[in-house]
Structure 1
Amino acid sequence: MTNLPTSSLLDAEAEPGYDPAVPQSARNLVDFHLRQLGLGEQYVRTPSGLARVLPDGIGWCRAQTLTEAAWPLGADLCVLVDWFPDAALRRDPRTGHVPPGAEEHWRERLAMTADALESLGYVVERNGPQRSPRTHWAAELLVYRMSPGLAPVRLPPEAWEGVEPIPPHYGRPSWHPDPDPCSVVERALQKAGVRAWSSSAGVCVVRSITQTVWPPDADICAWVCWSPAKEFRRENGTVPPGAQEHWAHQIERVKTALEQAGYEVRSRLRPWNPRAEDYADFVVYRSRRSVLAGMLT
Structure 2
Amino acid sequence: MEQDLAKLGLAPATEMRRGIPYTVIPAGRGWCQAVYAPPEAWPPGAEVCAIVRWRPDAAFRRDRTTGRVPAGAEIHWKLRTRAMLRDLEAAGYLAVVSGPPRSPRLHPHEDILIWRLGPGAHWSWPPHEAWDGMDPARPNHQREYRPRARDPWALLSTTLGEYRVGSDHGRALAESIDAVLWPQQAEYCARVRWQPHPKYQRRPGDDHAPPGAAAHWKAGVHRLTHRLTGAGYRVRTAEHPASPDRDDEVGLLVWRGPLPFSYDE
> TM-score, normalising length from structure 1?
0.80
Question: What is residue 203 of structure 1 aligned with on the other side?
Answer: 171
Pair 1:33-2:4 in alignment: yes
Q: Report the CA distance shift for 1:49/1:61 in structure 2 as closer, same or farther (over 3 A).
A: same
Comparing 196-205 with 73-82, greater Cα deviation is found at 196-205
Alpha-carbon displacement from aligned partner over 1:157-197 (angstroms, at most 9, x marks no partner): 6332331124321123x66445543322222233xxx4233
Contact 2:138 2:179 survives alignment (8 Å): no
Question: What is residue 221 of structure 2 aligned with on the other side?
Answer: 251
Question: What is residue 120 of structure 1 aligned with on the other side?
Answer: 91
Question: What is residue 257 of structure 2 aligned with on the other side?
Answer: 287
Identity of paired residues, percent?
A: 37
* Separation in 1, partners of 2:202, 2:68: 53
Counterpart of 1:116, as a letter, is D
1:5-84 aligned at under 5 Å gives the runs 30-47=1-18, 49-84=20-55
Q: Report the CA distance shift for 1:111/1:258 in structure 2 as closer, same or farther (over 3 A).
A: same
More helix by share: 1
1:1-297 aligned at under 5 Å gives the runs 30-47=1-18, 49-155=20-126, 158-172=129-143, 176-177=146-147, 179-190=150-161, 194-238=162-206, 239-288=209-258
Q: What secondary structure sits across from 1:182 in the alignment?
A: helix
Q: What secondary structure sits across from 2:98 in the alignment?
A: coil
Q: Aligned pairs, how many?
A: 257
Q: Report the CA distance shift for 1:107/1:151 in structure 2 as closer, same or farther (over 3 A).
A: same
What is the CA-CA distance between 1:135 and the residue it aligns to?
1.2
What is the CA-CA distance between 1:236 and the residue it aligns to?
2.3
Q: What secondary structure sits across from 1:158 in the alignment?
A: coil
Q: What secondary structure sits across from 1:224 in the alignment?
A: strand
Contact 2:44 2:125 survives alignment (8 Å): no
Question: What is residue 10 of structure 1 aligned with on the other side?
Answer: none
Alpha-carbon displacement from aligned partner over 1:243-287 (angstroms, at most 9, x marks no partner): 122111111111111122222211112132212211111101122
Unpaired segments of 5 or more residues in structure 2? 260-265
What is the CA-CA distance between 1:288 and the residue it aligns to?
4.3
Contact 1:220 1:285 survives alignment (8 Å): yes
Contact 1:79 1:144 survives alignment (8 Å): yes
State the structure with bigger RCO (CA 8 A, min sep 6), 1 or 2: 2
Counterpart of 1:163, as a letter, is M
* Separation in 2, partners of 1:86, 1:103: 12
What is the CA-CA distance between 1:234 and the residue it aligns to?
1.2
Q: Report the CA distance shift for 1:210/1:199 in structure 2 as closer, same or farther (over 3 A).
A: same
Comparing 111-120 with 248-257, greater Cα deviation is found at 248-257
Contact 1:263 1:285 survives alignment (8 Å): yes
Unpaired segments of 5 or more residues in structure 1? 1-29, 290-297
Contact 2:196 2:249 survives alignment (8 Å): yes
Contact 2:102 2:137 survives alignment (8 Å): no
What is the CA-CA distance between 1:57 and the residue it aligns to?
0.8
Contact 1:181 1:222 survives alignment (8 Å): no
What is the CA-CA distance between 1:107 and the residue it aligns to?
0.5
Counterpart of 1:71, as a letter, is W
Q: What secondary structure sits across from 1:111 in the alignment?
A: helix
Counterpart of 1:34, as a letter, is L
Counterpart of 1:234, as a letter, is R
Contact 1:168 1:175 survives alignment (8 Å): no
Q: What secondary structure sits across from 2:75 in the alignment?
A: helix
What is the CA-CA distance between 1:48 and the residue it aligns to?
5.3
Q: Report the CA distance shift for 1:264/1:129 in structure 2 as closer, same or farther (over 3 A).
A: closer
